[in-house]
Amino acid sequence: MPSHVYHIEKVVHGGFGLSHTEDGQVVLLEGAISDETVQAKIHRTTKNLTQGVVTKIITPSVHRIQAPCPHYRKCGGCDFQHMEYSFQLQAKHDIIKDLLLRSGHPDLRHSATLLMAPLASPQQVSYRQRIRLQVDDQQIVGFHKRRSHTCVAIKDCLLAKPVINDCLEKLHQQKSFDKLLAQTDALEILLNPDSSRISILIHFKRKPRPADKQYAKELTESLPQVDGIFFMGNAFAVTGHSSLSYTLPPIPLHTEKSLCLSWESGGFCQVNIEQNRTLIQTVLDFCQIRREDTILDLFCGMGNFSIPLAEKAGTVLGIEGQASAIRSAKKNSAKANQRNTEFIKQPIHQACKELVQDNRMFDCIVLDPPRQGVPGLARELGSLCSKRMVYISCDPATLCRDLAELLDQGFILKTLQPVDMFPQTHHIEMIALLEKRNNLPDMQ
């Protein structure tokens, strides 16, 4: 399709540059920065929307830089490398503010003034504790191209910890690895932060056979930094697992000792370990926990927030749908010698309905849902929360939707704090502090 020239008005949700055609149609472009004039190739046009990718910068932004990664704009990973880091933070702030101002809820639009500046990541590259690589039909190992299932070969990822890249390079040198690729859909390389050792999780198309396990054994023996190689697939469970861990140092005013947080190799942990400490401290600051407080931690995972919260709270109830995460949370609490925690495996919506039926209430609710948020849960959350709620979100669009529902259930939004967990991408973590209206001093 032919190229066209556009003036970029702003960067919007999804990391796209927003422009308009002469007849007012919305145009979303990859690789653009606010106030630039660009030439773009259009790859999709519908009745109300045109989408494309920048092919030439006619008038560049003063914040545009040369992307440091040779795979940039080829693989479908990073999308902000063309911006200097300080402007990445500004762009993310503006994206969230734009979503708030365009909300259909008047109180949420007015809450745009509560939005704080994003907390910068200690590291802008080499911060990922794990990466997941795809394997296509040609047995190319890498990341998918944009809008494609074809892989761009990756032997070194700018965002990965150096030891992960070193392991990936050595994997490609092993014949046993080549033997496994024909049946591999994806490959996860996981760094254990405490030991600096590696675990590898292979997503296999079928249940592994003795020959496959032998190849994995040969790889483990030939790669000294690798603790273990495991298989998982749609038709079978993970073939064994290793435990990964990181040590959370004492947090002033909140915890007095270091806490070991561990999880299974197939489980979840924030990929930016250094910035996760900032995330935890901010959540603890917002919770304002007292010794007698009761805490409900929804989507608690392996206890990323539950365990440090329990150091000061009266009781903590953590609920999570994944069995391995609950196993890890219980172990982490036991290692910390905590006697005030309970962890339950149950779907969150079902658990909240049962807690409401039991007339349970909590001084503080912490929730850290997946990208889809918590649609339809606002009424139950309003019944369960007596004082405040801290909502951690990885998608500002679903957060805005959920906040609008929560505001209608007697909550007041007090603070919105972005935390940059994912430099070089448009993704950002958000922490929202809400208080129950009947708990505010001026309402008593």
Q: Is the pLDDT of residue 310 over 80?
A: yes
Residue 250 falls inside a structural domain: no
Q: How far apart are CA 49 and CA 80, in angstroms?
A: 22
Residues 167-190: pLDDT tens digits? 999 999 999 999 999 999 999 999
Residue 247 falls inside a structural domain: no
Q: Is the pLDDT of residue 441 over 60?
A: no
Q: How far apart are CA 155 and CA 187, in angstroms?
A: 13
Q: Is the pLDDT of residue 271 over 80?
A: yes
Task: Exactly one of 69, 75, 394, 400 is catalytic; name it.
Answer: 394
Based on the fold, state whether residues 328 and 417 are members of the same structural domain.
Answer: yes
Q: How confident is the model at residue 439 (pLDDT cuts 50, 70, 90)?
A: low
Based on the fold, state whether residues 71 and 147 are members of the same structural domain.
Answer: no
Residue 209 falls inside a structural domain: yes
Q: Is the pLDDT of residue 195 over 90?
A: yes
Residues 67-98: pLDDT tens digits? 999 999 888 889 999 999 999 999 999 999 99
Q: Is the pLDDT of residue 1 over 80?
A: no
CB 284 within 8 A of CB 251: yes
- What percentage of residues in the chain have a pLDDT greater than 70? 98
Based on the fold, state whether residues 301 and 426 are members of the same structural domain.
Answer: yes
Q: How far apart are CA 408 and CA 376, in angstroms?
A: 12
Distances from the Cα of 123 to the Cα of 62, 73, 119, 392, 424, angstroms: 23, 21, 12, 21, 11
Range of the structural domain that residue 344 is part of: 271-443
Per-residue pLDDT, 352: 98
Over residues 341-355, the mean pLDDT reads 98
Residue 300 falls inside a structural domain: yes
Q: Is the pLDDT of residue 423 over 60?
A: yes
Q: Is the pLDDT of residue 440 over 70?
A: no
Over residues 23-27, the mean pLDDT reads 92
Per-residue pLDDT, 73: 87
- What percentage of residues in the chain have a pLDDT greater than 90? 89
CB within 8 Å of 200: residues ≥ 6 apart: 167, 171, 187, 188, 189, 190, 219, 226, 228, 229, 230
Over residues 297-322, the mean pLDDT reads 98
Give how many domains the chain has, as a whole number: 3
Rounded to the nearest angstrom, the gap between the alpha carbon of residue 320 and the centroid of all alpha carbons in its chain is: 17
- Count CB-CB contacts under 10 A for residue 357: 10
Distances from the Cα of 199 to the Cα of 78, 85, 159, angstroms: 24, 31, 18
Q: Report CA Rg, the chain.
A: 23
Based on the fold, state whether residues 68 and 139 are members of the same structural domain.
Answer: no
Pull the structure tokens for residue 229.
Answer: 């190689």
Residue 273 is given by DSSP the state: H
Q: How confident is the model at residue 442 (pLDDT cuts 50, 70, 90)?
A: very low
Q: What is the pTM of this model?
A: 0.94
Per-residue pLDDT, 235: 83
Write the secondary structure of 243-259 as one string of H (helix), E (strand) and C (coil): EEEEEECCCCCCCCCCE
What CATH code is carried by the domain that includes residue 20? 2.40.50.140
Based on the fold, state whether residues 181 and 294 are members of the same structural domain.
Answer: no
Query: How would you class 126 by CB atoms within 10 Å of its CB: exposed for 0-12, middle for 13-18, buried for 19 or more?
Result: middle
Q: Is 394 a catalytic residue?
A: yes
Q: Is the pLDDT of residue 444 over 70?
A: no
Per-residue pLDDT, 443: 37
Per-residue pLDDT, 348: 98
* Structural domain ending residue among the three candidates 82, 101, 117: 82
Based on the fold, state whether residues 283 and 233 are members of the same structural domain.
Answer: no
Based on the fold, state whether residues 304 and 415 are members of the same structural domain.
Answer: yes
Closest alpha carbon to 39 in 49, 52, 26, 50: 52
Residues 101-111: pLDDT tens digits? 999 999 999 99
Q: How far apart are CA 320 and CA 346, in angstroms?
A: 6
Place of tokens 């106030």: 35
What CATH code is carried by the domain that includes residue 152? 2.40.50.1070
Mean pLDDT of the chain: 94
Based on the fold, state whether residues 236 and 295 are members of the same structural domain.
Answer: no
Based on the fold, state whether residues 412 and 356 are members of the same structural domain.
Answer: yes
b/e 194-233 (16+ beta carbons within 10 angstroms → b): eeebbbbbbbbeeebeeebeebbebbbeebeebbbbbbbb
Residues 211-258: pLDDT tens digits? 999 999 999 999 999 999 999 998 888 887 789 999 999 999 999 999
Residue 371 falls inside a structural domain: yes
Based on the fold, state whether residues 303 and 439 are members of the same structural domain.
Answer: yes
- How far the first Cα of the chain sits from its last, in Å, is 64
CB within 8 Å of 443: residues ≥ 6 apart: 437
Residue 120 falls inside a structural domain: no
- Give the least confident one: 41-45, 326-330, 369-373, 422-426: 41-45
Residue 108 falls inside a structural domain: no
CB 415 within 8 A of CB 432: yes
Based on the fold, state whether residues 60 and 191 are members of the same structural domain.
Answer: no
Q: How is the beta sheet containing 3-7 ordered, strand by strand? A: 3-7, 37-45, 49-59, 26-30, 16-20, 10-12
Residue 397 falls inside a structural domain: yes
Q: Is the pLDDT of residue 62 over 70?
A: yes
What CATH code is carried by the domain that includes residue 322? 3.40.50.150
The residue ranking higher by pLDDT, 65 or 74, is: 65
Based on the fold, state whether residues 25 and 161 are members of the same structural domain.
Answer: no
- Count CB-CB contacts under 10 A for residue 332: 24
